[in-house]
């Protein structure tokens, strides 16, 4: 395994500080490395593999589509894309769909939608977007421009212009930034990379009312928190505060790279038209076959019920750890998107957990993020908790 890691370091651009493991296969909620060691997976490819590994119906659906057709381009219709759009509209309550290859691309499309919507109203090209501090929307230039962490942006300035930043759950900070040039207010319904901060219902409703009053588009990033992770298909549905534009990806394809941005009929009729936006691979038959099967399996296997049940159990076990260890400041999160906030960097704890067969990731330097497959059971939560407790005790002992 080390020989493969060494080869990767010679060939791949070093933009990731990878853990020293080569995963070879998965089964259920477990991963296996090249040496056959088993790991309980509480990362799921960063909130992607919602259905776990080796779901036979999912795998068979992809194999069937591969044997039919994988790609045609968007000059032509294809049946999986038509069916996927229909299913996605049903679970999201939105009206128009544009398929992308990733979440970052979905954000790019949402930004273009908002600017074209405003452009058609007054012909101006200096409209502003209000995004949130501590947010994360992706690494492409447009997505990076609305990511509220200066560290990610500083080496790549200048960003696209006319972006302002406010604070999540502080409506006054948003309202104070609004001008006649504001065309959109963009935020994650639950901030992920920024520290597992859910938007409050009061904040959501206040922003929605402001957008309605000023004809501003409300854009919700549901790339990580969507597709059932919080216990609703999309996190905003818990409050019934519908956006004008929404982005989705990650678990949408459960491993196949695919994303989408969606909008209401009003926005669809007054924004992007032929020639405004495009993609070679977006909406290809293979990716859309994955979407169709994922949505079907979510319903068939009643994934949302499991998220609500097991998510509550996970929260309770994490609360126990927070009460037990003084180094844990707080638990935050919703459903199976949870975080433990520590009073120190968590890198050592995550490394120790990996050594003991538990895969975790951080959100910032001091937060452990928990985004397991949505099919996990209480027994898996108990297994994770036992390993994590041991790792924390080890680090606590070394701190003394």
The pLDDT value recorded for residue 244 is: 98
CA distance 327 to 266: 50
Cβ atoms of residues 51 and 58 within 8 Å: yes
Class of domain 2-54+302-399: alpha beta
**pLDDT, tens digit (0-9, with 9 covering 90-100), for 15-26:** 999 999 999 999
3-state secondary structure the chain: CHHHHHHHHHHCCCCCCCCCCCEEEEEECEEEECCCCEEEECCHHHHCCCCCECCHHHHHHHHHHHCCCCCCCCCCCCHHHHHHHHHHHHHHCCCEEEEECCHHHHHHHHHHHHHHHHHHHHCCCCCEEEEEECCCCCCCHHHHHCCECHHHHHHHCCCCCCEEEECCCCHHHHHCCCCCCEEEEEEECEECCCCCEECCHHHHHHHHHHHHHHCCEEEEECCCCCCCCCCCCCHHHHCCCCCCEEEECHHHCCCCCCEEEEECHHHHHCCCCCCCCCCCCCCCHHHHHHHHHHHHHHHHCCHHHHHHHHHHHHHHHHHHHHHHCCCEEEEEEECCEEEEEECCCCHHHHHHHHHCCEECEECCCCEEEECCCCCCCHHHHHHHHHHHHHHHHHHHHHHC
The pLDDT value recorded for residue 396 is: 84
Q: What is the CA radius of gyration of the chain?
A: 21
The pLDDT value recorded for residue 13 is: 95
Cβ atoms of residues 201 and 230 within 8 Å: no
Indicate yes or no: pTM above 0.85: yes
Residues in the chain with pLDDT values less than 70: 398-400
What does the domain layout of the chain look like in residue ranges?
2-54+302-399, 69-300
The pLDDT value recorded for residue 397 is: 73
The pLDDT value recorded for residue 18 is: 93
69-300 shares the fold of 2-54+302-399: no
CATH 3.40.190.10 fits 69-300, yes or no: no
What are the φ and ψ backbone dihedral angles of 232, each rounded to 5 degrees? -120, 155
């Amino acid at each position: 395994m080390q020989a493969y890691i060494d080869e990767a370091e010679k060939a791949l651009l070093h933009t990731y500080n990878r853990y020293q493991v080569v995963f070879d296969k998965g089964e259920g909620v477990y991963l296996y490395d090249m040496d056959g060691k088993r790991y309980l997976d509480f990362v799921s490819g960063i909130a992607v593999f919602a259905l776990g590994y080796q779901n036979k119906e999912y795998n068979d659906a992809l194999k069937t589509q591969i044997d039919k057709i994988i790609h045609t381009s968007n000059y032509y219709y294809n049946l999986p894309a038509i069916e996927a759009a229909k299913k996605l509209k049903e679970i999201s309550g939105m009206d128009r769909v544009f398929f992308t290859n990733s979440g970052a691309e979905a954000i790019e499309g949402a930004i273009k939608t908002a600017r074209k919507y405003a452009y058609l109203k007054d012909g101006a090209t200096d409209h502003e977007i209000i995004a949130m501090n501590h947010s994360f929307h992706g690494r492409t230039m447009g997505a990076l421009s609305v990511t509220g962490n200066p560290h990610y942006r500083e080496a790549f300035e200048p960003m696209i212009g006319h972006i302002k930043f406010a604070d999540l759950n502080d409506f006054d900070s948003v309202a104070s930034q609004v001008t006649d040039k504001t065309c959109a207010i963009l935020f994650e319904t639950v901030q992920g990379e920024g520290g597992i901060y859910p938007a409050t219902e009061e904040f959501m409703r206040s922003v929605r009312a402001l957008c309605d009053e000023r004809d501003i588009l409300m854009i919700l990033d549901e790339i990580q928190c969507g597709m059932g992770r919080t216990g609703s298909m999309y996190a905003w549905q818990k409050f019934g505060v519908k956006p004008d534009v929404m982005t989705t990806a990650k678990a949408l394809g459960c491993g196949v790279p695919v994303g989408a941005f969606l909008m209401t009929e009003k926005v669809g009729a007054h924004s992007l038209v032929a020639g405004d936006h495009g993609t070679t691979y977006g909406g290809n038959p293979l990716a859309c076959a994955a979407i169709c099967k994922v949505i079907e399996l979510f319903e068939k296997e009643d994934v949302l019920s499991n998220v609500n049940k097991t998510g509550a159990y996970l929260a309770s076990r994490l609360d126990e750890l927070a009460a037990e260890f003084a180094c844990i400041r707080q638990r935050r999160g919703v459903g199976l998107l949870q975080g433990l906030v520590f009073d120190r960097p968590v890198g050592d704890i995550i490394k120790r957990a990996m050594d003991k067969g538990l895969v975790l990731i951080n959100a910032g330097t001091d937060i452990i993020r928990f985004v397991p497959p949505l099919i996990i059971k209480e027994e898996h939560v108990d297994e994770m908790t036992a390993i994590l407790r041991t790792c924390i005790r080890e680090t606590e002992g070394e701190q003394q």
